[in-house]
Structure 1
Amino acid sequence: MIDIRFLAIDEGRQQLSLVSTRDSVFHWSLDLADFPLARDMQRLDEERVLVGYDHGFFELEWRTGRILANCDRWNEVTAVTRREDGSTLVTGLDLDAQGGVTVLTLDAEEKLAGTARREGDYVRLMRVTPQGTYLLCTNDHIKETDENLVELRRFSAPGFEHAWKAERREDGSTWVSAGYGAFIAVFDAHGQLERRFGAVGQVPPGVAPFFYATYSFQADGTLLVANWQGHGADNGAKGAQLLQFGASGELLATWSAPERISSLQGILPV
């Protein structure tokens, strides 16, 4: 059994909820009509979470669902990252009206402090590595770049389609959720594909892997993965929504709330 409390973005019904899986309790739900295409979430401290959406980002009191602040300036924002110095990285497409993939740096007062741009027409969640480089999910491959978005290397695997999230681990490995490929790929410290797991044929048919979106590493070494099932409000019964994998890639448990969630896309344990 998966036993966690987490923030859940239901893309199909455009809702953000605080959920406890033990009894499938929804502590609160927030209508995202005013915050379209929310995709990214980051824990800021014991009380606050940063949520990125199409027009910008907002700060949320996660225990209550109360919105504390909102920055609404753009279109096609896909990822946000708050840095330790209080600055915020805002990633998306054409954010400065110059085209391409853009990463804006806002200072602690949310004033524009820097712009980086490169050619491209697709980007999803961006993550900063421990080395200070950026991992950009650009559809069928991952670009690792410097802060000026100059490509340093790339990661690709057969089946990547709308790859969603890449993250660098302490051992130097890079983990990627494959989007419509519906598997997790692990690259070694040299950038070579080491293994993939969670795909059709590697899990029971009832899981129905469709689109692996956000994932989260847990303190016990397991991995939680959101198995998104499509746009719209009636996808809840199509497959297992939240998957838990062991460190070796074995499926340990699943959880779903088909009456409350249509398409689970974003997850953040709190």
Structure 2
Amino acid sequence: MKKLLTCLIGIIACSSVLAQKYSGNRKFLLRDEGLSQVSFVNLDDSTANWFIKVPAGRDLQLVGNRTVLVSTGTGYQELDVRSGRMLKEVSDYAGSVMARRLKNGNTLLVGLNWEGKKGVVLLEVDADGTNRKVLNFPEHNYVRLVRETAKGTFLITANTMVFESDRDGKVIWKANLTGPKKINSWQALRLRRNKTVVSSGYAVNFQILDKNGAVSKTFTGPKEVNPHFFAGFQVLKNGNYLVTNWQGHGPDFGHSGSQLLEFTPQGKLVWSWKQDPAKFSSLQGVIALDGLNPEYLYIEGKDGKLKKQKTAKKSK
């Protein structure tokens, strides 16, 4: 009997971790790849929620003036954070994989075998759509998300690896991920002490890389959350990692897995969210709005956390 009680207590303790609710108001912008949808979700006030259909794409970002930038396959859209209403659409870049607003106010668009070039292409354009700079990496045949680092370089995920380029297109660092042959690394962020954290896609984990590119740590979630594909993530104010646990292409994955997972930097799962299958299918991107002000553009800082930019530098 004592052994049975111990087992039951263990099960209850595990369940309480997976169902943990934070005190206070948790709000998210979510990108649902399965439904081609962006939504605003307030866990304490569902009357404020909204759900908007968008073209297929890979990323989302707060860019100021209460606006979220949503990448599409032809450029990007800008939506009002309060309502989801579309404020602007740029559709001149067919074949783009993602778009990202830079610290200088320009927009970085990314594509593969694109804009007349082979391999990975990074195209920087100003507010008028004038091409400012093109970086090309013809040796790479895959690309997902790109992040501007605090020092102005670019971290680029390319299937089984991640590499870093300076503003002139010189590769200054690279690392191979560990895991199965099909990895599909999704997003990389630079942390302090030259560490890099990567969501590894089909390897279904976070991988922490040291300054030499060696994998120093990996961690994933328990089977209860059905780890399937670690996609877009955010380093929260407390240093934890909030990641989307994508479940599959198409509209019928809302019942599968818990699709928001929060880990400590040590790899402990401290919170998860089970989506409503009537409203979601397969999450691929997230912005936790707690403590953020949508009036500002946000770029990751030296510790990987989102840092507001008081004023965007004007392009020369």
Common topology (TM > 0.5): yes
Give the corresponding residue for 1:17.
Answer: 39
Q: Deviations over 1:162-219 (max 9, x none)?
A: 1000011233210100000110011123332110111xxxx33211111000011111
Q: 1:102 aligns with which of 113, 117, 121?
A: 121
Cα pair 2:178 2:215 within 8 Å, conserved = no
Partner letter of residue 33 of structure 2? E
**Could you say if the C-alpha distance between residues 204 and 85 of structure 1 is closer, same or farther in structure 2, counting changes exceeding 3 Å?**
closer
Query: Following the alignment from structure 2 to structure 1, what is the Cα–Cα distance between the partners of residues 201 and 131?
Result: 31
Cα pair 2:252 2:281 within 8 Å, conserved = yes
**Could you say if the C-alpha distance between residues 235 and 26 of structure 1 is closer, same or farther in structure 2, counting changes exceeding 3 Å?**
farther
Secondary structure of 1:171's counterpart equals helix
Q: Deviations over 1:11-41 (max 9, x none)?
A: 1111111012346666111112xx2x22111
Matched, 1:138 2:158: yes
Q: Percent identity?
A: 34
Deviation at 1:226, TM superposition (A): 0.2
**Could you say if the C-alpha distance between residues 162 and 2 of structure 1 is closer, same or farther in structure 2, counting changes exceeding 3 Å?**
farther
Paired residues, number:
263
Structure number with the higher helix fraction is 2
Which shifted more, 18-27 or 78-87?
Answer: 18-27
Query: Following the alignment from structure 1 to structure 2, what is the Cα–Cα distance between the partners of residues 20 and 52?
Result: 23
Matched, 1:171 2:193: yes
**Could you say if the C-alpha distance between residues 194 and 63 of structure 1 is closer, same or farther in structure 2, counting changes exceeding 3 Å?**
same
Cα pair 1:243 1:253 within 8 Å, conserved = yes
Give the corresponding residue for 1:260.
Answer: 279
Deviation at 1:109, TM superposition (A): 2.1
Matched, 1:157 2:177: yes
Matched, 1:147 2:172: no
Cα pair 1:139 1:162 within 8 Å, conserved = yes
Query: Following the alignment from structure 1 to structure 2, what is the Cα–Cα distance between the partners of residues 135 and 2?
Result: 33
Secondary structure of 1:123's counterpart equals coil
Q: Deviations over 1:41-70 (max 9, x none)?
A: 111125112111111012111111011111
Deviation at 1:239, TM superposition (A): 0.9
Query: Following the alignment from structure 1 to structure 2, what is the Cα–Cα distance between the partners of residues 152 and 26?
Result: 45
How do 1:1-270 and structure 2 match up within 5 A?
A: 1-3=20-22, 4-22=26-44, 27-32=49-54, 35=55, 37-45=56-64, 47-119=66-138, 120-159=140-179, 161-198=183-220, 203-257=221-275, 258-270=277-289
Cα pair 2:57 2:98 within 8 Å, conserved = no
CA RMSD of aligned residues (A): 1.7
Secondary structure of 1:247's counterpart equals coil
Partner letter of residue 157 of structure 1? L
**Could you say if the C-alpha distance between residues 112 and 83 of structure 1 is closer, same or farther in structure 2, counting changes exceeding 3 Å?**
same
Cα pair 1:229 1:239 within 8 Å, conserved = yes
**Could you say if the C-alpha distance between residues 9 and 190 of structure 1 is closer, same or farther in structure 2, counting changes exceeding 3 Å?**
same
Partner letter of residue 263 of structure 1? S
TM-score, with length taken from structure 2: 0.79
Query: Following the alignment from structure 2 to structure 1, what is the Cα–Cα distance between the partners of residues 153 and 103?
Result: 15
TM-score, with length taken from structure 1: 0.91
Cα pair 1:87 1:110 within 8 Å, conserved = no
Secondary structure of 2:224's counterpart equals helix
**Could you say if the C-alpha distance between residues 125 and 2 of structure 1 is closer, same or farther in structure 2, counting changes exceeding 3 Å?**
farther
Q: Deviations over 1:61-110 (max 9, x none)?
A: 11110111111012232222212322111111133122221111102322
| Structure (1 or 2) with the larger CA radius of gyration | 2
Cα pair 1:12 1:264 within 8 Å, conserved = yes
Secondary structure of 1:94's counterpart equals strand
